[in-house]
Structure 1
Amino acid sequence: MTVAAILTFSHIVVQLFGQTIPDLFWPVFKDIGAGFIIFAAFAFAVAWFLKARPHNRPKHYSIVVFDIDGKETVLPGIRTEFRNHDVAWSFMKQYKEAYPLNNFALVSDVKKDRKKVMFRYI
């Protein structure tokens, strides 16, 4: 009789903690886990968007010419002021083909400092 009572009690405990309680809370934990995953993905997307977007896009680009010694020089007859990055880069590549002994840098005033930021150099 005692053995049967112990086996019955242990079966009830196993049934209760092994199936009944987990079956009640599993959908809740599943939804909470999905919520954490969605929140983490949303937080990552917001952080990536804030980091990836350009904060201060330059409005004017300049091409600076350097001679063989690395000193700034002026080549007469070339265009050096641009409003578009792609156009400035295209002109810079053409100037490099036309003047192979000179180096060219694409610069702009991103900040209010005296120094200009160099975007490309060939």
Structure 2
Amino acid sequence: MIKYFQILFEWKTYIITALAVISFSNFMAVLFGQTIPGVFLAFFKVAGEYVILGAVFVFALIWIVKAKPHHRPKKYSVVIFDVYGKKSQIDGIRTEFKTHDVAWSFMKQYKKAYPLYNFALVSDNQKSEKPTIFRYI
């Protein structure tokens, strides 16, 4: 009977040691396989979202700054061209305007009234020697 208890005690030691090693290895596998990577993945997922969102806002801000006209002309002129493409004059029509929309509206009316002439909506730019043509009909 004593021999039986000795064998059981030896096996009991081995079983407890094996269970301790298995439970510790399971704990380490869960810690390094799920817990720590889960924390890092959650952090980098949120950080990545903020980086992408920040890049979108920076791009939008740059686009708005570049797309916005920095200098709007304060005076528009309608230049008249004859059939041969040379500048011409027509008596009794208005050629100086303060807004783009009004000048464009008058140009469309002039084109209907004088179909053999072409009209250009231009403005003098301070940075350029030549006038800038906005529309041509």
TM-score by length of 2: 0.77
* 1:48 maps onto 2:63 in alignment: yes
Q: Say what the alpha-carbon RMSD is for the aligned residues.
A: 2.3
Match of 2:117 among 95, 102, 109: 102
Larger radius of gyration: 2
Please name the residue that 2:8 is paired with: none
State the alpha-carbon separation in 1 of the partners of residues 114 and 55 from structure 2. Answer: 53
Aligned-pair identity in percent equals 57
* 1:116 maps onto 2:131 in alignment: yes
State the alpha-carbon separation in 1 of the partners of residues 122 and 105 from structure 2. Answer: 14
Residue pairs, 1:63-82, within 5 angstroms: 63-82=78-97
Q: Could you tell which deviates more after superposition, 51-60 or 95-104? A: 51-60
Q: Could you tell which deviates more after superposition, 66-75 or 37-46? A: 37-46
Please name the residue that 1:62 is paired with: 77
TM-score by length of 1: 0.86
* Contact 1:60-1:83 within 8 A present in 2 as well: yes
Match of 1:17 among 26, 32, 35: 32
Deviation at 1:4, TM superposition (A): 8.1
| Deviation readout 1:72-122 (Å, 9 max, x if unpaired) | 001111000000000000000000000000000000012343300000000
Q: Which has the higher contact order (CA 8 A, sep 6+)?
A: 1
Please name the residue that 1:91 is paired with: 106
Structure holding more helix per residue = 2
Structure 2: which 5+ runs fail to align?
1-17
Structure 1: which 5+ runs fail to align?
none
